[in-house]
Amino acid sequence: MSRGKVRFSGLLFGALGIGALLLLWELGHRRYGSLVLPGLDDTFAALLRLTRQGLVGPALSTTTFHASLGWGIGAIIGGGLGVLAGLRTPVRQALQPVSVILLGIPAIAWIVLALLWFGGGWAVIFTVAVATGPVVFAAATQGARSLDGDLAQMARAYRTPPGAMFRDVHGPHMVGYLFPALATALGLSWKIAVMAELLSGSGGIGDGLAAARARVDTAETMAWIVVVVTVLVVVDQALLRRLQRRAELWRDSEETGAP
């Protein structure tokens, strides 16, 4: 099948899947009523109202700040320690059990602890960092452990300077491991940030959800959910997938027409 046909088929079946979901939503609304599941029209009316009141923009930027900063801290610490663990066996032996323990602690438990320790926005940022860091750590460890010794030896034989060694030899290898983990952690960071905001009352979309829940306004609750999902889909489609295609062009046979 040609690339054009694959793309068209992807769009067609993707649209069919979303259409089926919206249909189920509307059927659920008609079966159980607006309090349980508001209709599509009520939800989009609520979204329009929130936007006109100027609530969506600030909430979106607050959640983006919390999620991005937490994700960034988790990526730097998790990635840095992961590389170290991949290169040094004693570090790996010391940190791997810690990572497993951290991964086993539910995000909700971290939120409760973070609220006691920090409170406010830093509780959200800490929770995101501590929940996403181990995901990046595991990928970085695997990436560093599987660095290609033959390629490194070839590069040394050509007296490659350290900068080029990183850019041309080790960097692209690590991207193959880190990119999927960073993308997963980015999605996770948004979900955890909204949950932590809801419990901490530190602004953002989670705070909007908490207010809607307090008023038992299901349409507004669904409107906030639509905002979160839209952001995640846009980030995934417009940024992550494009970056991934670009970073992994060399191994994608369909993109390159490899034999």
Q: Which is nearer to other proteins, 183 or 247 (CB)?
A: 247
Q: Which is nearer to other proteins, 41 or 255 (CB)?
A: 255
Q: How far is the CB of 153 from other proteins (least distance, A)?
A: 6
Length of the chain: 259
Q: Which is nearer to other proteins, 237 or 256 (CB)?
A: 256
Q: Which is nearer to other proteins, 39 or 180 (CB)?
A: 180
Q: Which is nearer to other proteins, 173 or 213 (CB)?
A: 173
Q: How far is CA 117 from CA 57, 197, 237, in A?
A: 29, 15, 36
Nearest-angstrom CA–CA distance, 159 and 152? 10
Q: How far is the CB of 249 from other proteins (least distance, A)?
A: 8
Q: How far is the CB of 99 from other proteins (least distance, A)?
A: 28
Contact residues toward other proteins (CB under 8 A) are 150-151, 153-161, 164, 168-169, 172-173, 249-251, 253, 256-259
Q: How far is the CB of 22 from other proteins (least distance, A)?
A: 41
Q: How far is the CB of 255 from other proteins (least distance, A)?
A: 10
Q: How far is CA 186 from CA 46, 87, 153, 198, in A?
A: 27, 25, 35, 19
